[in-house]
Amino acid sequence: MNMESNCQKIEAIVSESLAKANRDRSDVTVVAVTKTKPVEQVAELYRLGYRHFAENRLEGLDEKQAALPQDDIIWHFIGTLQTRKVKNVINRIDYFHALDRLSLAKEINARAEQPVSCFVQVNVTGEESKHGLSPAALLDFVYQLEEYPNVKVVGLMTMAPIEATDKELQHCFKGLKQLQEKVAALQLPYAPCTETSMGMSQDYPIAIAEGSTFVRIGSAFFAETEE
C-alpha cells in the first residue's frame, strides 16, 4: 500500500469534482475515517497533512488520541453513539455526525462542557437498515432541539445506499442538500445548519457535485495501490 499515492489520487478527484461544480477547495473538508485502522497508518495520514479524523467506537478514539498529537487534530465521531457512552466521548470530539433521537440530544446536553457541533442524521432514502430521521420528521426534531443549548446543529448527514446507481446517489444527496437549505432558512440561532456531511469512498465525487461540505473517506486511503 502506498498511502501517499492514495492521498494524491483522492485530492485529484476532490479537486476535479469541485472544479466541475464551480466550487473552491476550501468548500469541502476531507474527513479521514480511521476506524479499525492501526495507529501507524493514521500517523502516516497525519504526516501527509490530514487533520480531520473520524472514529466510531470509544476504544478506537482512546487508542488514536493517546498516540497522536492533540493540538491540531479535529476529531469526528461517526456512527451510532449509545446514550450510556456519551459521557466518555462527547467532550473529546469536535463534531458528532449521527444525532438521530431526542434522548441522545438530552444526554449530550447534560454531559457536554460546551456546545457540541452536531450533524442531524437523515435517512433520505428510507432504508430500513439505516439510522436517521425521516425527511418528514426533520423540522419538528430540529425545533425541539432548542431545549438543549449544548447541541449546536451545524448541518445534516446521510448515508447513501451501498449499491445505488449514480442517478440514485444524485437523488439522495440532492435531497439532503435541499433539507439542509430548508433548515438553514429558518435562521435558528442554535441550528445554523450550513453544512452537509455526505459522501464516502465509493461515492464522494457525486456528493461533492451535489454540494457536500464534509466527505467521510475511509477505504480509499488504505486501498492497495496497483503497481
pLDDT of residue 26: 94
Among candidate residues 214, 227, 111, 74, the one with its CA nearest the CA of residue 154: 214
pLDDT of residue 227: 41
How far is it, in rounded angstroms, from Cα 91 to Cα 48? Answer: 27
The four Cα atoms 127, 158, 119, 187 give a dihedral, to 10 degrees, of -100
How far is it, in rounded angstroms, from Cα 119 to Cα 110? Answer: 18
DSSP helix/strand/coil, 16: helix
Q: How far is CA 11 from CA 29, 147, 169, in A?
A: 11, 40, 21
Angle at 123 (CA atoms; ends 25, 107), nearest 5 degrees: 90
pLDDT of residue 131: 85
pLDDT of residue 75: 98
pLDDT of residue 225: 59
Q: How far is CA 143 from CA 96, 138, 182, 191, 202, in A?
A: 19, 9, 13, 9, 33
pLDDT of residue 77: 98
Give the chain's radius of gyration (CA, Å). 17
Q: What is the pLDDT along the chain (227 residues), one digit of tens a residue?
A: 799 999 999 999 999 999 999 999 999 999 999 999 999 999 999 999 999 999 999 999 999 999 998 899 999 999 899 999 999 999 999 999 999 999 999 999 999 999 999 999 999 988 777 789 999 999 999 999 999 999 999 999 999 988 899 999 999 999 999 999 999 999 999 999 999 999 999 999 999 999 999 999 999 999 885 54
